[in-house]
A and B are shown apart, each in its own frame.
Chain A
Amino acid sequence: MASAVHQDFQYSSPSHQAETAIAGMWLFLTTEVLFFGGLILCWIYARHWNQAGFDAGARETKLWIGTLNLGLLISSSFIYTAGIAFIRVGNTRRLIQCCSLTLLLGLAFLGLKFGLEWHDDFAGHLFPASADFKIAGPEGGGARLFFIFYFISTALHGLHMLIGIGLLIWIIRRARREEFSALYHTPVQVVGLYWSFVDIVWLTLYPLIYLVGRG
Chain B
Amino acid sequence: MAHPPTANPVAAELWRLFRIWAALLVLGGAEFAASYLPLPRSLRPLVILPGALMVAAVAVGFMEVKRGIVLARTFAVAAMFWLLVLLALGSADPLTRTDYRVPNAQVR
* Interface residue ranges, A against B (CB under 8 Å): 19, 22-23, 26-27, 29-30, 33-34, 37-38, 40-41, 44-45, 48-49, 51-52, 55, 67, 70-71, 74-75, 77-78, 80-82, 85-86, 88-89, 91, 192-193, 196-197, 199-200, 203-204, 206-208, 210-215
**Chain B residues closer than 8 Å to A44, beta-carbon distance:** 87, 90-91, 94
If the complex has contacts A41-B90, A74-B28, are A30 and B75 also in contact, measured as CB distance less than 8 A?
Answer: yes
Query: 0/1 per residue, B20-33, Cβ < 8 Å to A?
Result: 11001100100110
**Contact among B21, B25, B69 with A22 in the assembled complex (CB-CB below 8 Å):** B69
In the assembly, what is the distance between CA of A74 and CA of B58, in Å? 9
User: 8 shortest A-B CB distances, which residue pairs?
Assistant: A211-B35, A78-B21, A26-B75, A33-B79, A30-B79, A23-B71, A85-B13, A41-B90
Q: Is the CB of B35 within 8 A of A207?
A: yes
**Chain A residues closer than 8 Å to B32, beta-carbon distance:** 67, 211
**Chain A residues closer than 8 Å to B94, beta-carbon distance:** 44-45, 48-49
Chain A nearest CB: distance from B48 CB in Å?
5
Q: Is the CB of B62 within 8 A of A207?
A: no
Closest to B69 in A: A19
**Chain A residues closer than 8 Å to B18, beta-carbon distance:** 78
Q: Is the CB of A211 within 8 A of B59?
A: no
Q: Is the CB of A212 within 8 A of B48?
A: yes
**Chain B residues closer than 8 Å to A33, beta-carbon distance:** 79-80, 82-83
CB of B1 within 8 A of chain A?
no
CB proximity to A under 8 Å, residues B24-67: 24-25, 28, 31-32, 34-39, 41-42, 44-45, 47-48, 51, 54-55, 58-59, 61-63
CB of B4 within 8 A of chain A?
no
Chain B nearest CB: distance from A148 CB in Å?
17
In the assembly, what is the distance between CA of A199 and CA of B47, in Å? 19
Q: Is the CB of A77 within 8 A of B58?
A: yes
Q: Is the CB of A23 within 8 A of B9?
A: no
**Chain B residues closer than 8 Å to A214, beta-carbon distance:** 35-36
Q: Is the CB of B37 within 8 A of A45?
A: no
Q: Is the CB of A34 within 8 A of B86?
A: yes
If the complex has contacts A22-B72, A27-B75, are A34 and B37 also in contact, measured as CB distance less than 8 A?
Answer: no
**Contact among B34, B37, B62 with A196 in the assembled complex (CB-CB below 8 Å):** B62
Cross-chain pairs A/B with CB under 8 angstroms, 29 sampled: A22-B72, A23-B69, A23-B71, A23-B72, A26-B71, A29-B75, A30-B79, A33-B79, A34-B82, A34-B83, A37-B83, A37-B87, A40-B87, A41-B87, A45-B90, A45-B94, A48-B94, A67-B32, A71-B28, A77-B62, A78-B24, A86-B10, A89-B9, A192-B63, A207-B35, A208-B48, A214-B35, A215-B39, A215-B47
